[in-house]
Amino acid sequence: MSVVSLRIDPTFRRPVYQVEDQRYDLLGEWLTTDLGTFFLVTLDALAMADDVARGEPPFEVWSSENYAVSFTPSALLITNSWVPGAEGDFPADVAQAAIEDYWRFLVAQPERSVVREYRPDLPEWQANLLRWEEKWGRSHPYRGRLF
């Protein structure tokens, strides 16, 4: 069972979250605002969580205008750069499961009707997976597991 419940706001068509345990509020906030509807960013988060779970450093430092984020073997550390005191650490396995659930949520949404230049023949998430693998020169660690 996920610690973050997700849905699409019918008015703004953006992801929104709900948590029963307020300790996970910042995790839901980070998922829906920093990862947003960006498949490439979510693929980065999945890969970083997988890297540290295997005892390796993340392949890249997390870059964000709004959050300081660190992936460690024991926890995902998040600090909102604009809200004093908005910081939390989340057990690595809980955070990784939440990111996986967020990926499933994004993929389950209807395709957006936008013009895409890169692989318009594929669903958007698949095209972004190929772009991610081209950019980083490696297979995504979730290939064969989550997609």
CA pair distance 130, 141, nearest whole angstrom:
13
- With cut-offs at 50, 70 and 90, classify the pLDDT of residue 100: very high
CA pair distance 31, 104, nearest whole angstrom:
12
pLDDT digits (tens, 9 = 90+) for 16-57: 999 999 999 999 999 999 999 999 999 999 999 999 999 999
**pLDDT attached to residue 71:** 97
The percent helix, strand, coil of the chain (3-state, each to 5) is 40, 15, 45
Cβ atoms of 60 and 44 closer than 8 Å:
yes
Enter the tokens of residue 78: 């998040």
**pLDDT attached to residue 112:** 82
Whether the per-residue pLDDT at 97 is higher than 90: the answer is: yes
User: pTM, whole model, 2 decimals?
Assistant: 0.95
Residue linked to tokens 């069972």: 1
Whether the per-residue pLDDT at 1 is higher than 70: the answer is: no
